[in-house]
Amino acid sequence: MDICKELLTDHGVIVVSIGEDGQAYLKILMDEVFGHSNFVETFLWRNTDNADSLSTKARSGIEYLHAYEINKDSSIRWIGKESENGDAPLLNNGNGLTEKTFPAGSIQFKIPDGSYHKGRYPSVDLMNDLTVQNSLNANTVTLKGHFKWGQDTINNEIQKGTNFIIKTKKFSIRFQRKNASVMAPEKWIDNRYLSKIFGVGTNEDASSHMKKMGLNFSNPKPESLIAFLIRAVTKEDDIVLDCFMGSATTQAVALKMHRQFIGVEQLDYINTISVPRLQKVISGEQGGISKDVNWQGGGSFVYAELMEKNMGYLKDLEKATTIDELSSVYQRMKQGADYDFRVDLNKYENDPERKNMSFEEQKALLIKMLNKNQLYFNENNIDDTNVHELISDSDYQFNKSFYGKENA
């Protein structure tokens, strides 16, 4: 998570999913990495239609999605859905008493046309006489009450076409915007989780989707869940980063929703599942959220692997089955491996006890000697003579282009 934090921008958002057993520990860990003050919300997701029936104490079908901003900014709105755009109260009894002025024609009335004298009414005080004509206020009117908005906001809303409505002689004023407003994402409504009620699928839905694509992956996330999160915190052309790419659900959804994406994965199934899935998405596959977003295919991605350094030796050691094979790998390690700082090669080679070790013990010792922080070559070493000569000119130019240093 520290690496993800370094890659995210000042206004980046990170969401991590965890099951019930480890959610409290993960929340503490993420507080340490991102800061408790940057915590936004824990969303609750019903991840299965079939909770474990073998448990004798409780059947859990919930995962927790802890959401943080890198630098929490209350001015940035997260998007859940558009409101139904019904009218809403402009008054809130918890606010102080203030006077607000409404120009002629800005309030729609559901009460009879006529004259209404200034004075106290059940919801507001009418500060001047009012004439209602053709269901509108024919004159400027000032009301005194517990208003949610200031005068500047009211004036701005009038300019935007917001309607103000008084339905009864109580004079309880309401408002209705011209266009639907955006509501923040729901985490928990009427005791219901993020689930199919809100268009968010389950692990079973995701597994079914993967099988239809001819891919097999354990415990994938549904595209609808990732779409819920991407829609909440990004807009088109934003960059979505996934440090644990897995089956490429995040990247598939980002592509379908017209976001840029970066995916990082260290396991070999990236070649058999992740990349083939994205190729199917580009071809226009119709699972997941495809119909919801009218996905017709298209787009592209660049796939690259880190250049192996100690990782090559590590793989060869793990594949070795004889002492002679171990010795062969060690001879190559002497030519180019980076060792742990505690390693003394002279002591290793002249240790009389080493010959009495079993094959597995010698393998484990050689693996332990490798510096695990140097499994791959770092980009900033690419111009070193001993590194540059190991790669082709085309790979060198690709790296310069990829890291934006063509003219460096």
Residues 328 and 325: their CA atoms lie apart, in Å, by 5
CATH of the domain at 277: 3.40.50.150
Find the angle CA(200)-CA(201)-CA(203) to the nearest 5 degrees: 140
pLDDT of residue 178: 78
User: Is residue 161 located within the same domain as residue 41?
Assistant: no
Place of tokens 């005194």: 144
- Which residues fall within 8 angstroms of residue 49, CB to CB, at 6 or more apart? 61, 202, 204
User: Is residue 31 located within the same domain as residue 66?
Assistant: yes
pLDDT tens across 302-360, in order? 888 888 899 999 999 999 999 999 999 999 999 889 999 999 999 999 988 888 899 99
Domain end (from 109, 143, 176): 176
User: Is residue 162 located within the same domain as residue 110?
Assistant: yes
Q: Does residue 390 fall inside a structural domain?
A: no
Kindly give the residue spans of alpha helices, DSSP state H, lying in 257-405: 274-282, 310-319, 323-336, 345-349, 359-369, 385-388, 393-402
Q: Does residue 113 fall inside a structural domain?
A: yes
User: Is residue 164 located within the same domain as residue 105?
Assistant: yes
Q: Are the beta carbons of 8 and 241 closer than 8 angstroms?
A: yes
Place of tokens 């200034």: 118
Q: In the structure encoding, which two tokens stand for residue 79, read together?
A: 């998007």
Residues 205 and 396: their CA atoms lie apart, in Å, by 43
Place of tokens 């290793």: 348
Q: Does residue 289 fall inside a structural domain?
A: no
Q: Are the beta carbons of 209 and 223 closer than 8 angstroms?
A: yes
pLDDT of residue 192: 42
User: Is residue 70 located within the same domain as residue 139?
Assistant: no
pLDDT of residue 61: 75
Q: Does residue 301 fall inside a structural domain?
A: no
Q: In the structure encoding, which two tokens stand for residue 208, read together?
A: 């079914």
User: Is residue 193 located within the same domain as residue 71?
Assistant: yes
User: Is residue 274 located within the same domain as residue 191?
Assistant: yes
With b for 16 or more beta-carbon neighbours within 10 A and e for fewer, the 190-214 pattern comes to eeebbbeebebbbbebbbebbeebe
Q: Does residue 386 fall inside a structural domain?
A: no
Q: Are the beta carbons of 123 and 172 closer than 8 angstroms?
A: yes
How far CA 164 is from CA of 94, 103, 169, 271, in Å, comes to: 20, 11, 15, 59
Q: Which residues of the chain have pLDDT under 50?
A: 187-193, 408
User: Is residue 70 located within the same domain as residue 213?
Assistant: yes
pLDDT of residue 51: 65
pLDDT of residue 146: 95
Q: Does residue 63 fall inside a structural domain?
A: yes
User: Is residue 155 located within the same domain as residue 218?
Assistant: no
User: Is residue 146 located within the same domain as residue 278?
Assistant: no
pLDDT of residue 231: 87
Q: Does residue 194 fall inside a structural domain?
A: yes
User: Is residue 136 located within the same domain as residue 99?
Assistant: yes
- Domain residues for the domain of 138 are 85-176
User: Is residue 24 located within the same domain as residue 72?
Assistant: yes
Residues 186 and 72: their CA atoms lie apart, in Å, by 19
Which of 308, 212, 354, 197 has the alpha carbon at shortest distance from 316? 308
Q: Does residue 192 fall inside a structural domain?
A: yes
pTM of the model: 0.64
Q: In the structure encoding, which two tokens stand for residue 404, read together?
A: 């934006």
How far CA 136 is from CA of 131, 160, 349, in Å, comes to: 8, 18, 97
Query: How many folded domains does the chain comprise?
Result: 3
